[in-house]
Amino acid sequence: MKLTMAQALVKFLDNQYVCFDGKETKFVNGIFGIFGHGCVVGIGQALEQGGHSLTYYQGHNEQGMAHAAIAFAKQKNRREIIACTSSIGPGALNMVTACGTATANRIPLLVLPGDTFACRQPDPVLQQIEQPTSCKTTANDAFKAVCKYWDRIERPEQLMTACLNAMRVLTDPAETGAVCLAMPQDVEAEAFDYPDHFLCKRVWYMDRRVPTDREIDAAVEMIKNAEKPLLVVGGGVTYSESYKAVLAFAEKYEIPIGETQAGKGQIPWNHRLNMGGIGVTGAGSANRLAKKTDLVIAVGTRLTDFTTCSKWGFQNPDVKMLSINVSSFDAFKMDSTAVIADAKLSLEAIMQKLDGYKSKWGDEPKTAQAEFFKEIDRCYSVELPNGFSQTRALGIINEGIAPDSIAITASGSLPGCMQRIWKSHAPYTYHVEYGFSCMGYEICGALGAKIAAPDREVYAMVGDGSFLMLHSELYTAVQEGKKVNIMLFDNSGWGCIENLQNNQGTDTFGTRFTRRNAETGLLDGDLIVTDFAKIAEGYGCKAYRCSTPKELEEALEDSKKQTVPTFFDIKVAHKSMTDGYDSWWRVGVAEVSTSKRVQDAYEDMKANIEKARLY
């Protein structure tokens, strides 16, 4: 079939399917795009020409639309994607940050940036970055550091191997992440006789990887020798739909559970063995047990510094690590004994050989959980003389929305508050991007999740700092008629980073949103008061201004009647988020300082490093 490269690409993407546990799903839902000279007459022409079932979504910031695509894929459990195309130069580079978000979180994202001319005849073209060291280097080379597969299609026939490799990575649970296919704008329009078998329906099988007998025997032996094992449930449990197997395993052997950000929500929040979030942004219940455990059973987790408290959280000198993961890169972290296989199949295989075992935790999990439930109740009811607390606002939202609503956040203090005190009532309702902690994801993510789950309410918890970073896709939500609910927590600054600098001995500097002081020359003048609701109203949203619990409760009820996107401008008190609970996070504290507080913080860091594992 004689097609341009771009036309063949569209036809190929339209015919890709995945199969998981016998269920076949069309993989590519559509394409987000912001058209410019690098793509509008190539892939833009191919999309406009028709003959395909892909939906075109008009983005309004390239990073924003790519983050929406990530959220769509995450909410679809990595079984469906929306590709993203852009022009060359700045349009392409805007997607680099989103590619970092996708790769860090192991979410499939296909970006199709336009590129300069392969023939080089009109060089330098508008928006081209010239490098005197190589005419071949373009802005799109920047994607290499943040993608799991990168290719530049310099001849139309190269599309075939590029597409097959792109799909290989996008559909691989162990290797998935961002994939970049850079498309020179002249090649997009060049034709080739593509063979029919390349353009026909193709199914990619996401088979569960079976553990070996040796791996299972080793795991069984480790568990038998453990008295106080602890399950750490990560995103792999979410994406492999293994939460029922995890729960059956925990119940059979009386093993408590700690949840990572990506794993939270799969186990009912009030299950007797669920100790809640674990790590730096975790609950006191999980972190206290983590210090005592003699065996960490890490299931589908990358064991990041926030999960392990910078390798400080597991302080039993005899603690051992057992990791079940489809990725060998993750499975061997922290010197773990590795089971490189699917979580569900691995846990079921262990249960077949682990008869008669019970942990020796006794009532410790029950006591720890009861104490932290009291802390959640306290956070939900706290009253402050100086305003509305962030934790109470979260409690009102949590208890005032439908149990199947999707809650989204990504950066600042809100992910910490939510991992600790948010009550998830059903699987796939807790949607938090914390692998990259990318400010600006939240509103874009709400749009992507709503496209993925149009019949459910979506609530994005976003700080004022993150809102200022990126909110362009709120306009897209209005355009698409997607009712998302944006819960903006305005504390006049980057609150969690201010806490971090204060806790390490540095006075507040550059983290509050204040005017420049004419006398000092510093940003320590009056706070800037912003009517964020007015911005949302200008886009066409229904907006609410909430400074008290009653105003928020009434706004929540009224918002359920709305059909357009809603926006809550919630004014919360400074420093009214949750504290850390039995955790530590290693950050670089100044070794030399004139401040006694900084000196003390440095000594405290050194003392805690002594308690942490080296690798």
Q: Tens of pLDDT along 153-176? A: 999 999 999 999 999 999 999 999
Average pLDDT over residues 261-277: 97
**Residue for token digits 């280097």?**
137
DSSP-derived secondary structure for 276-312: EE-STTS-HHHHHHHHH-SEEEEES----HHHHTTTT
pLDDT score of 275 more than 90? yes
**Is residue 103 located within the same domain as residue 147?**
yes
**pLDDT interval class at 331 (50, 70, 90):** very high
* pLDDT value at residue 222: 98
- Residues 246-274 have a mean pLDDT of 97
At residue 320 the predicted structure's pLDDT band, cuts being 50, 70 and 90, is very high
Q: Report the pLDDT averaged over residues 530-553.
A: 98
| Residue 17 located in a structural domain | yes
> Of 368, 391, 426, which one is at a domain's C-terminal end?
368
Whether residues 159 and 194 share a domain: the answer is yes
Same domain membership, residue 245 and residue 197: no
Calpha distance 44→31 (Å, rounded): 10
What is the pTM (predicted TM-score) of this model?
Answer: 0.97
190 and 275 inside one domain = no
Q: How confident is the model at residue 248 (pLDDT cuts 50, 70, 90)?
A: very high
Nearest CA to 303 out of 223, 234, 222, 215 is that of 234
Number of domains in the chain: 3
The answer to whether residue 433 is domain-embedded is: yes
- 32 token code pair: 């987000």
Q: What is the DSSP letter of 489?
A: E
Instruction: Give residue 582's identity as a one-letter amino acid code.
Output: D
Q: Token pair for residue 117?
A: 């001319």
**Cβ contacts of 134 within 8 Å, gap of 6 or more:** none
Domain for residue 518, yes or no?
Answer: no
Q: Are residues 287 and 219 in the same domain?
A: yes
- Within the chain, what is the greatest distance between any pair of CA atoms? 75
- pLDDT single digits (tens) 30-65: 999 999 999 999 999 999 999 999 999 999 999 999
- Residue 217 belongs to some domain of the structure: yes
Q: Read off the pLDDT of each residue in 586-607 and give the average, rounded to a whole number.
A: 96
Please state the rounded mean pLDDT for residues 364-372: 98
Residue 344 scores a pLDDT above 90: yes
**386 pLDDT above the threshold of 90:** no
Determine the pLDDT at residue 584.
97
Collapsed DSSP state (helix, strand, coil) of residue 542: strand
Give the range of the structural domain holding residue 392, as residue numbers without chain letter: 383-492+529-571
Taking a C-beta distance cutoff of 8 angstroms, is the pair 140, 78 a contact?
no
Q: Are 568 and 546 in contact (CB under 8 A)?
A: yes
pLDDT digit string, tens, across residues 109-155: 999 999 999 999 999 999 999 999 999 999 999 999 999 999 999 99
Helices of type H across 340-481? 343-353, 364-381, 390-400, 414-421, 441-452, 464-469, 473-480
Residue 453, domain CATH: 3.40.50.970
Mean pLDDT of the chain: 97
* Same domain, residue pair 133 and 183: yes
Instruction: Give the domain-ending residue among 315, 345, 368.
Output: 368
17 plus 48 within the same structural domain: yes
In whole angstroms, what is the distance from residue 221 CA to residue 159 CA? Answer: 49
Q: Is residue 522 domain-resident?
A: no
Q: Percent of the chain having pLDDT more than 90?
A: 99
Asked whether the predicted pLDDT for residue 200 surpasses 90, the reply is: yes
- Asked whether residue 393 is assigned to any structural domain, the reply reads yes
pLDDT one-digit tens code per residue, 437-486: 999 999 999 999 999 999 999 999 999 999 999 999 999 999 999 999 99
Of 182, 205, 228, the position where a domain reaches its end is 205
Bond preceding residue 427 cis, omega within 30 of 0:
no
Residues 388 and 536 in one domain: yes
Distance CA 424, CA 320 (A): 30
Q: How many CB atoms lie within 10 A of CB 567?
A: 29
In a domain, 150, yes or no: yes
CATH of the domain at 257: 3.40.50.1220
Q: How many CB atoms lie within 10 A of CB 441?
A: 33
**pLDDT tens digits, residue range 403-415?**
999 999 999 999 9
Same domain, 138 and 234: no
Going by C-alpha positions, the residue among 460, 382, 365, 466 that lies closest to residue 421 is 382
Q: What is the pLDDT of residues 68-120, one digit of tens each?
A: 999 999 999 999 999 999 999 999 999 999 999 999 999 999 999 999 999 99
Q: What does the pLDDT look like over 415-436, one tens digit per residue?
A: 999 999 999 999 999 999 999 9
Residues 201 and 219 in one domain: no
- Asked if 233 and 323 sit in the same domain, the reply is yes
CB-based contacts of 62, cutoff 8 Å, min separation 6: 34, 84, 86, 91, 92, 94, 95, 98
Distance CA 273, CA 268 (A): 10
Any domain includes 141: yes
Closest C-alpha to 224, from 321, 353, 318, 335: 353
- Residues 254 and 171 both lie in one domain: no
